[in-house]
Amino acid sequence: MKRTAFGLSAMLVSFLLGTVIALGSLVAMGGKLDSAALTAFSVPTLLVACLVACLDPLAILLEIVAIVLIAVDSRQVGGLHRRLAWAAAILFVIWAVANVAGFVPLSFVGMRRGALALVKAGQLVKAGAALLQYSVPFLMIFGLTCKWPRVLLWLALVMTAIGNFGVVVLPISGMQLAPIELPGQTMYAPRFAVDYGAGVYPFLLGMGYIGGALYLVVYAFLTWRTWRSVSTGEGP
């Protein structure tokens, strides 16, 4: 189970990095997201850019490492855990393909042609694919849990799915396109403004953060328990 222990550790660090990115970006932008402000040169904008550029790829890489290690090592436990661990790996691949083959081309073509419908469709594909990603950490370890960790896992899945999906989907309806003159062509950049301190956003953000915290608790517990089993030579 040593590979599982390493995988759980990698996923735990990935969760922590994701939390730093989300909270850091929210605080840096003063609880508001304005695409126009993101293009301006300012300290908050630089901080957000650094957080995303430096930490996000590392968080995704660690998640991939965790999925591979846990899925490969799942044969030692077998049964439900093995099936769900590989289901998590498949869903992660589908999420990646949906972003590369759906979100990216739809957004690019829409921005090039000034087609708002295509850009919105790309955002909806991204949001729908994110629902798959939210279930990955749930499926990866569900078969390793019982009693209170399993209850927390269900709560984490429901809260992150509802909260994060709502935060991503709601701004799409108010999205607009603004022309940007580039050498030899005109591109149309998405423009939107969201006040996360108003409306239902505080409730949705709260659900998302609480769900993420519950995932952290369960993963921290399983990481500790698995490393203890490895060190003592106990079975899975």
Under the banding of pLDDT at 50, 70 and 90, the label for residue 56 is: confident
Q: Which residue has the tokens 């994110």?
A: 130
Each residue's pLDDT tens digit, 178-196 = 888 777 778 888 887 788 8
Each residue's pLDDT tens digit, 58-80 = 889 999 999 999 999 988 887 89
Q: Answer left, alpha or beta for residue 145, where phi above 0 means left and psi between -120 and 50 means alpha.
A: beta
Q: Report pTM.
A: 0.85
For 63, 126, 131, 219, the CA distances from 9, given in Å and listed in that order, are 10, 27, 23, 8
Residue-level pLDDT at 181: 77
Tokens for 37?
A: 């402000």
Q: Which residues contact 227 (CB under 8 A, 6 or more apart)?
A: 5, 9
Residue-level pLDDT at 58: 87
Tokens for 146?
A: 């019982």
**Number of continuous H segments (helices) and E segments (strands) in the chain:** 8, 4
Query: Does position 232 have pLDDT exceeding 50, yes or no?
Result: yes
Q: Are 38 and 48 in contact (CB under 8 A)?
A: yes
